[in-house]
């Protein structure tokens, strides 16, 4: 097994390299179609990475990933399962791709919302609409005793 490469992106400008020794793969029978071979081949892959001890992440990145992926963690271990393919090799690749995508997505910095003000035109249109609506309602009223 080789190292897992996370491509560069927001939050990880140079990408990440997770050493192969930190990844744990387990294989088991996959459910679903596969004919006679489904009961004999271990095609399902479970790929695990301990985010608390991995050397691929800095302390700031580790805290961010642990916070954002907390719902998917068992302790500090992130486990990805892949069983959509009939071959173990393709499931291994799918699990590694999914883990890389999940790490990359978790490391994206939060966008800061900059408050904006309504444009002059949008304010004018809103007030004009309110004026029109008010006139419509005025015309629905019963005429006064004039």
**What are the C-alpha distances in Å from 51 to residues 68, 93, 99?**
12, 20, 12
Determine the pLDDT at residue 9: 87
**Which residues neighbour 45 within 8 Å (Cβ) at sequence distance 6 or greater?**
25, 26, 27, 81, 82, 83, 88, 91, 92, 94, 95
Q: Per-residue pLDDT tens for 9-66?
A: 888 888 889 999 999 999 887 676 666 655 667 788 999 999 999 998 899 999 999 9
pLDDT value at residue 2: 86
Q: Are 10 and 111 in contact (CB under 8 A)?
A: no
Q: Report pLDDT for 87.
A: 86
Question: What is the tens place of the pLDDT at every residue in 64-84?
Answer: 999 999 999 899 999 999 988
- Kind and range of the H or E run holding 89: helix 88-106
CA distances from 84 to 43, 60, 73, 80, 92 (A): 9, 34, 22, 12, 11
pLDDT in tens, 108-143: 988 899 999 999 999 999 999 999 999 999 999 988
Pull the structure tokens for residue 90: 């393709």
Say what the pLDDT of residue 88 is: 87
137 Rama class: left (phi>0) / alpha (psi -120 to 50) / beta: alpha
Q: What is the pLDDT of residue 77?
A: 93
**Residue 39: per-residue pLDDT:** 60
Residues in the chain: 146
pLDDT in the model for residue 40: 66
pLDDT value for 124: 98
pLDDT at position 118 is 95
| Residues sharing a CB contact under 8 Å with residue 103, sequence separation 6 or more, in sequence order | 6, 16, 18, 65
How much is the pLDDT for 29? 79
């Amino acid at each position: 097994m080789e190292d897992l490469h996370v491509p560069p992106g927001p939050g990880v400008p140079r990408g990440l390299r997770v050493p192969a020794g930190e990844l744990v793969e387990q294989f088991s029978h996959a459910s679903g179609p596969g004919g006679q071979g489904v009961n004999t081949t271990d095609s399902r892959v479970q790929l695990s990475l301990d985010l608390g001890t991995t050397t691929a992440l800095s302390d700031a990145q580790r805290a961010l990933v642990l916070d954002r992926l907390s719902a998917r963690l068992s302790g500090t271990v992130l486990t990805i399962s892949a069983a959509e393919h009939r071959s173990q090799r393709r499931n291994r690749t799918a699990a590694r791709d999914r883990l890389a995508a999940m790490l990359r997505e978790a490391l994206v910095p939060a966008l800061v919302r900059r408050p904006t003000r309504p444009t002059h035109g949008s304010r004018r249109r809103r007030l004009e609409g309110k004026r029109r609506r008010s006139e419509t309602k005025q015309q629905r009223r019963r005429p006064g005793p004039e």
